[in-house]
Structure 1
Amino acid sequence: MEPRISLVTLGVGDLARARRFYEQGLGWKPSPGGSEQVAFYQLGGMALGLYGRAALAEDAHLPDAGDPARFGGITLAHNVRSRAEVDAVLALAERAGARILKPGQDVFWGGYSGYFADPDGHPWEVAWNPFFPLDEAGNLSLPTE
């Protein structure tokens, strides 16, 4: 298996509400490859999907715990190019309807980050990491040495 994540799909309680948050609130452009049941967004070299939570659980043959406030053991991250951009993105997300979990702050690993939860409770970290540079397209490069 090649080391790659191609698509992350979030199970959402209300697809229309989730689409409003990501499209109108955050300004993301949906792919025409979506449908009434699923939405897709290009994120650099990978994609994000939004799909009904119960349908996604059924598709994966997993029980749906149904509690979006419970931590699911995963966070998503959106890296930015500066400390100020962390605060700007957190403010944008909050205006769009996100709940701020942790305001932007200096962190132990030498960067600056904060967290918000989207309307379904999925936690997003917004981080400036001086050790993981972004190229012009916003792609993250991990250190190789």
Structure 2
Amino acid sequence: RIAFDGDAVVFSAESDEVYKREGLEGFRKFESQNASKPMEGGPFGEFLKKLSVLRAIYLDENGVSKVRIGIVTARDSAAHARVINTLRAWGTPADEAHFVGQWNKAPILKAFGAHIFFDDQEKHVLGASGVVAAGHVPGPHDGSAPVIPSGDLPA
């Protein structure tokens, strides 16, 4: 079970950049206007695509694979459509997708049973590391400041 953050990890940092320039309202407007436009790939975009091939190889007759993919992102439900449409356009189904907004990602990762999690924000990596091996994917922004707000996580 492998879990990923979305923006600036499997997807490009384009939406993060909009958030930095225009705030939450601008971000939501941008995502709504571009909901059907697939995002470009980020640092782990190709890895997700290859992992999806492996997932398909191990699908059983019930459509369940030994390889499970989760997306756990600080986007909230108001900004979910573009993620889902991008995954579909790429042919990379996720077994689970969670849009946690300001909530802590660790409980979701624990419930998913993730074996490893990748995020571009050090705050989320540290918060998740208590329940799963967590890898930091250096992002295009200040690591000490969350790009899309999230709740207080343990340091």
TM range (shorter): 0.3 to 0.5
TM-score (normalizing by structure 2): 0.32
Structure with the higher strand share, 1 or 2: 1
The structure whose Rg is larger is: 1
TM-score (normalizing by structure 1): 0.33
